[in-house]
Amino acid sequence: MSPEATPAPTSVEQAERMRELILEMAIRARSAHIGSSLSIADILAVLYFDVLRRDRPRPDRFLLSKGHAASALYAALALAGDLDEDAVVSGYCADGGRLAGHPERSVPGVEITAGSLGHGPAVAVGLALADRIDGSDRHTFCLVGDGELNEGSVWEAVALAAQLELGSMTLVVDANGLQGLGSVDDIVTLEPLADRFTSFGWWVADVPGHDHAALAAALSIRDRRPVCVIARTVKGYGVDFMEDDFRWHYQSLRETDRERAFCALRRTRRVA
Amino acid sequence: MRDAFVDTLTELAGEDERVCALTGDLGLDLFDAFQLRAPGRFVNVGIAEQTLVGVAAGLALAGKVPFAYSIIPFVTSRPHDQIRVDVAMTGAPVKIVGVGAGYAYGSAGPTHHAIEDLALMRAVPGMTVLTPADPREAAAATRAALATPGPVYLRLGKNGEAAVVPPDVPYEPGVARWISRGGDVTLASIGTALPIAIEAAGQLGERGVRAGVLHFPSLRPFDTLAVLDALAAAPAVVTVEEHNRDGGFGSAVAEAMAESGLPGRLARVGMPDRHCGQVGSREYLMAHVGADAAGVRAAATALLERTRMRRAA
């Protein structure tokens, strides 16, 4: 069969495959942050397979600031061809592996080292500034969690990006409403998020975070101002017993959970 | 030293298009010439030091060579996590420039005193730590910062310092230089503490003690061989630094001496392990904590006395 005969997988299909990889990594590594990764699988799938212009001399950039969702990034990079799929599964959080629980720039396709929260937005401003100096039209995307917005450094960078009118920058907020020890609204809420970003001088799109068409439209917005896409997501999305439960920020899956987790994933897919 | 730094940086901006300058809203009029020379390559990020370092890291990862400027504690302590993660862990060629070594901002109070930065920065993997002594060396160190791959911390005094390093002594990171030789004791100093060591050597000379002065123009790379050379010249070393005695230059010399296995005794002069609790100029505060030339002289005299007593016993 010639390659042309096989249509490229849609971003929805890629997101489904990413979730399988995320679960596989989590089970093998007995690692945490599964809910955080499942939360952003759709956003990353839309970015990597629909929005990012990567096949050019100065490719668009994606910065994962909420580094604890690294397994989602590795899954996207594996499907995009930057990383080997088997190596991603075997190397994640493994002794002697190359893929830590938080991403490092030394990994192909990973733009920034992350894991200490609140760093990505300022680095994104610096990258976008460099593009302005160079006269490049590339776009820089940075993904933060809504819990991460607790970090004051995020707001320093948000203010500066507006001041500099960095229209070549899009900040995506993974607004799943949950952080380490509970709900964002119960800990330090920053709602109304859209109003806050608007008042900081940003162009804001508030969209359902698992709706690929809505995400693709929002992530394609270009303005004189920097753009903030608030993606309303569900932590643990796709695995019903994890969904919207902050405990899956830290809880890990066992090998004996494998059947239950993958069944849940298949169930969600049928419903969708 | 500040003017020497910025004049050199402005020259470098004309020679190398990668050079950018960032400030956290400090340095009144300081970057005017730079902005004329390199339009679009200067940014005042506002009073936001975490963003100062983060933006610098972004520029550096995109191929620029940004110099990020502020007062030492604000550019080393405040954004230390950005230095660790965004700069050091990625190896981004960010040049962090701190002004106000030790008590240079004396009367401004302890928030502005820089007594922890050498310890902090020398513990960061891959960080080069440059410690020029005077304006000529500050200019040379600025060029060295650009020439050095990867992250660099450049520690400056303030402004208006006298020339202390003889003009024929080249500035080279990792190479300590004998300013004068002496067979009884070596006064090893780092960066802006050099004039204190020179003055103390003079006072000791008047009392018949031959004190050599060894200047360290960088903490990283650290010139371990120079420490061995000093021990060969005299088995008594006094370190002189404008920094907490613990964790900085004196500690680095102590480590080198201990690991060398060579006989020798050490006294460390610097800031005590507390905030100084006094108001006054750099000179006033240095005298108050015993880190001026008289303090160095006293430390050297006591060290030699202990050495003699041990020999006699």
Residue B246 DSSP label: T
The pLDDT of residue A272: 61
Task: Find the angle CA(A139)-CA(A140)-CA(A146) to the nearest 5 degrees.
Answer: 135
A41/A33 Cα distance (integer angstroms):
13
∠ at Cα B81 (B75, B85), nearest 5°? 115
Q: Tell me which residue in B46, B66, B82 faces A119 most closely, judged by beta carbons.
A: B82
Q: Do B58 and A157 touch (CB under 8 A)?
A: no
Distance of CA A94 to the CA centre of its chain: 22
Quote the CA–CA distance of B14 and B35 in Å, as a whole number. Answer: 11
For position A3, what pLDDT does the model report? 57
Nearest Cα to B192, choosing from B227, B156, B226? B156
Q: Do residues B215 and B176 touch, judged by C-beta distance below 8 A?
A: yes
From B20, B54, B84, residue closest to A122, measured CB to CB: B54
* Tens place of pLDDT per residue across chain B (313 aa): 999 999 999 999 999 999 999 999 999 999 999 999 999 999 999 999 999 999 999 999 999 999 999 999 999 999 999 999 999 999 999 999 999 999 999 999 999 999 999 999 999 999 999 999 999 999 999 999 999 999 999 999 999 999 999 999 999 999 999 999 999 999 999 999 999 999 999 999 999 999 999 999 999 999 999 999 999 999 999 999 999 999 999 999 999 999 999 999 999 999 999 988 899 999 999 999 999 999 999 999 999 999 887 777 6
Query: Running DSSP on this structure, what letter comes out for residue A7?
Result: P
Token duo for residue A262: 């993958």
- Residue found by looking up tokens 């849609």 in the block: A10
**Chain A residues touching B24 at Cβ < 8 A:** none
Cβ contacts of A95-104, under 8 Å, gap ≥ 24: A99/A70, A99/A74, A100/A70, A101/A29, A101/A31, A101/A32, A101/A33, A101/A68, A101/A70, A102/A67, A102/A68, A102/A70, A103/A64, A103/A67, A103/A70, A103/A73, A103/A74, A104/B89
Nearest beta carbon to residue A130 from set B53, B63, B81: B63
Q: What is the pLDDT of residue A2?
A: 56
The Cα-based distances of B180 to A96, A174, B188, B238, B239 in angstroms read: 51, 62, 11, 14, 15
**How far apart are the C-alpha atoms of A166 and A133, rounded to whole Å?**
12
Q: Given CA atoms B99, B101, B104, B106 in this order, what sign does their dihedral have?
A: positive
CB-based contacts of B2, cutoff 8 Å, min separation 6: B27, B30, B99, B138, B156, B157, B158, B159
Contact flag A116-B85 (C-beta cutoff 8 Å):
yes
Q: Which residues pair with A98 in a beta bridge?
A: none
- Give B12-41 pLDDT, tens digit per residue: 999 999 999 999 999 999 999 999 999 999
Would you say how long chain B is, in residues? 313
pLDDT of residue B107: 92
Q: How many CB pairs under 8 A join A and B?
A: 99
Verify whether the Cβ–Cβ distance A125 to B54 is below 8 Å. yes
pLDDT along chain A (272 residues), means of 10: 75 97 95 94 98 97 98 98 96 95 97 97 98 97 98 98 98 96 94 98 98 98 98 96 89 92 87 64
The token pair at A272 is: 């969708």
Query: If you measure CA to CA, which chain B residue comes closest to A61?
Result: B62
Nearest CA in chain A to B57: A123
